[in-house]
Structure 1
Amino acid sequence: MTTPSPLKAALLVLAGAIMLSFAAIFARLTGMPPTTSGFYRMVFGCLAFAGLLALRPEMRVGWRDNWAGSFLIGAFFAADIWFWHRAIEYIGPGLSTLLANFQVFLLTAIGVIWMRERVGWRFATGLGLAMGGLWLLFGRDWANLPPDYRMGVILGLLTALAYALYLLSLRGFQIRHGHIRPEARLLQSTFFCALILGAANLVEGNSFDIPTWNALAALIGLGLVCQVLGWLSITRGMPFLPAGLVGLLLLIQPASSVLWDYLIFGLRLDAWQLTGIGLALVGIYFGLRSASRRKLG
């Protein structure tokens, strides 16, 4: 793969983060049950990855190998989508995406406990700021929040845990089986994620019907724009940028999701909650920067 210039690499990561910021918006716009929209996100994503591999033979390298590992990756991703799409229903696209990005702290905690990794002041500072932001957003009036809203917060944090396990397993299996191209691995894991969510949709008794053309357009956006193009853009640009810039650019995703939620769905927050979002975003930035330094160093 040709090495991109620093400007092109930054634009790739920026574009990918913006595309990912629309995932929760598309999921909400489908108007479909959470598991059903998650299933179709994986179906369209799988079809897009299959088409990409058909057109680019060099991306097929290793696609027949380690399907068992991809099943575990897909299972964690299915849990991520299952929790997250429900959180979107309860607390909206913006706040659910913000909570999902707390994965950086859970991922680091897993690394400290399991792999004896060390953390520095950036992580400690980021965690403190993020926890303060979380309390301003939800903790100040927790007892008076509606039950569904509280459930949405819990589901958002469970999303972060499932997302952290997904990233950890993806990274681990790619290290152990380095000959498998990332695109081939993503095809495998997306396929298994679609199977799991499809089975869950059957158990829940949901219809697989796509009710409107607008719902179909939103599902295609989920699968093509978010599941494929967004992640490919980020993975193409991220290795060629400094850790601090990567953290700053990835922060665009939760910040943009909150903005789209405000513009499209009328999200309204008081001054304390806006302060909480600001603290959480700064905390996530420090957490991302700490994680990027460990991976790059």
Structure 2
Amino acid sequence: MTHGHETSASGRTASQVPAHPRTADPQRPSAVVRAGNPLVLALAGSACISASAVMMKLSGTNAGTAAFLRCALALFLLVPLAWREVRRVGARPLRYQAMDIGAGVLLGIDMVFWAASVLTVGAAVSTVLLNIQVVVFPLLARLVSGTPLTRRFVLLAPLMLAGVALASGAIGNPQPGSDPVAGVTFGAVAGVAYAGYLFLMRLGGGRVHTVTPVCTSTAAAAATAALLGGLWTGIDLNPGWPAWGWLITLALVGQVLAWLLITAALPKLAPNVGAALLLLQPVMAFAFGIAIGERPTMTQAAGCALVIATVWYTSRPSPR
């Protein structure tokens, strides 16, 4: 989402045959990684994603408009990059393209409901609420592929859900002017859809295509956001300035640049380091929200801390 939505763009397939004899080695490190320290790049990418909620809120647009234009504007960069990638390594198989489209539909749902959550509970809290996908993703894996649930997950999932309720204000004292019930509902729907997006993108697998699956899923997300947002909130194709400025920045920084930085850097980092860096996203988003004047209550701040701590502990490598 660049809310945290862009970092999952690792759905790639290694079964492709290069379209031309001069095709470059697809395993060769990207120019982004070669240009800098992967740790610094990952931090910069996390900061870009963390600022997405603030940019969306500052645009002053409704949920449907922000979700649709964020994806549609990003395609101006993603389409040429994907076209170049296809010429370099060949076309992506149809079955993986179908997964990319399905993932994009879920991403579009996620973006509309996440934007609605930003407008109801604020940029700081909404990004933390999205971490409910940490609970949903293992459940999907259990239902679809039979992956067993760990004891750690079973014990900590209720604790995390309690943190979500506190962070939204559904339990305790909500931020003045917010709607905690709507906020946690929108955030939960966004988190479920995002978990499905991550699951389908991971099923794509592989290492040859990097831009193409993101471009396809972003296009499907734009179409889904146009339909859902148009029916729910309406879409304003002429929001005026400064809304255009914030939305263009959101698309370029939160949707494209963040993905390029993080997906290029993470393969060069140890898994525990990468997970820790990605966990900084809700922390930085919380700080950005406060910077623009949001004032979550103490119970909401405690709920956010509980969610982040639970996600951190759940994502730690098993001692075995």
TM-score bin (small chain): 0.7 to 0.9
> What one-letter code is carried by the residue in structure 2 that aligns with 1:187?
C
- Is 1:165 aligned with 2:165? no
Question: In the TM superposition, what are the counterparts of 1:230-249 in structure 2 within 5 Å?
Answer: 230-249=258-277
Q: Any conservation in 2 of the 1:93–1:258 contact (CA below 8 Å)?
A: yes
- Is 1:78 aligned with 2:108? yes
* Cα 1:288–1:213 shift into 2, 3 Å: farther
Q: Any conservation in 2 of the 1:105–1:287 contact (CA below 8 Å)?
A: no
Q: What TM-score, normalized by structure 1, do the two folds share?
A: 0.85
| Per-residue CA distance 1:174-198 (angstroms, 9 max, x = gap) | 22xx476120111111112112222
* Cα 1:283–1:204 shift into 2, 3 Å: closer
How far 1:77 moved relative to its partner?
Answer: 0.6
Q: 1:33 aligns with which of 54, 57, 62?
A: 62
How far 1:120 moved relative to its partner?
Answer: 3.8
**Which residue pairs with 1:268 in the alignment?**
295
Provide structure 1 residue ranges, at least 5 long, that are not aligned to the other structure: none
Root mean square deviation of aligned Cα: 2.9
**Which residue pairs with 1:186 in the alignment?**
214
Q: 2:284 aligns with which of 256, 266, 273?
A: 256
Q: Any conservation in 1 of the 2:103–2:217 contact (CA below 8 Å)?
A: yes
Question: In the TM superposition, what are the counterparts of 1:58-97 in structure 2 within 5 Å?
Answer: 61-63=90-92, 65-66=94-95, 67-97=97-127
* Cα 1:231–1:111 shift into 2, 3 Å: same
- Is 1:277 aligned with 2:308? no
- Is 1:109 aligned with 2:139? yes
Q: Any conservation in 2 of the 1:21–1:254 contact (CA below 8 Å)?
A: yes
Q: What TM-score, normalized by structure 2, do the two folds share?
A: 0.79
* Cα 1:207–1:277 shift into 2, 3 Å: closer
Single out whichever of 278-287 and 207-216 deviates more from structure 2: 207-216
Q: Any conservation in 1 of the 2:70–2:251 contact (CA below 8 Å)?
A: yes
* Cα 1:278–1:205 shift into 2, 3 Å: closer
* Cα 1:20–1:61 shift into 2, 3 Å: farther
Hey, what's the Cα distance between the residues in 2 that align with 1:200 and 1:120?
36
Provide structure 2 residue ranges, at least 5 long, that are not aligned to the other structure: 1-27
**Which residue pairs with 2:52 in the alignment?**
23
How far 1:155 moved relative to its partner?
Answer: 0.8
* Cα 1:64–1:215 shift into 2, 3 Å: farther
**Which residue pairs with 1:288 in the alignment?**
315
| Per-residue CA distance 1:123-146 (angstroms, 9 max, x = gap) | 356535423423433353489x98
Q: Any conservation in 2 of the 1:60–1:183 contact (CA below 8 Å)?
A: no
How far 1:114 moved relative to its partner?
Answer: 2.9
Number of residue pairs aligned between Structure 1 and Structure 2:
287
- Is 1:206 aligned with 2:234? yes
Q: Any conservation in 2 of the 1:45–1:223 contact (CA below 8 Å)?
A: yes
Give the percent of matched residue pairs that are identical in Structure 1 and Structure 2. 25
- Is 1:153 aligned with 2:184? yes
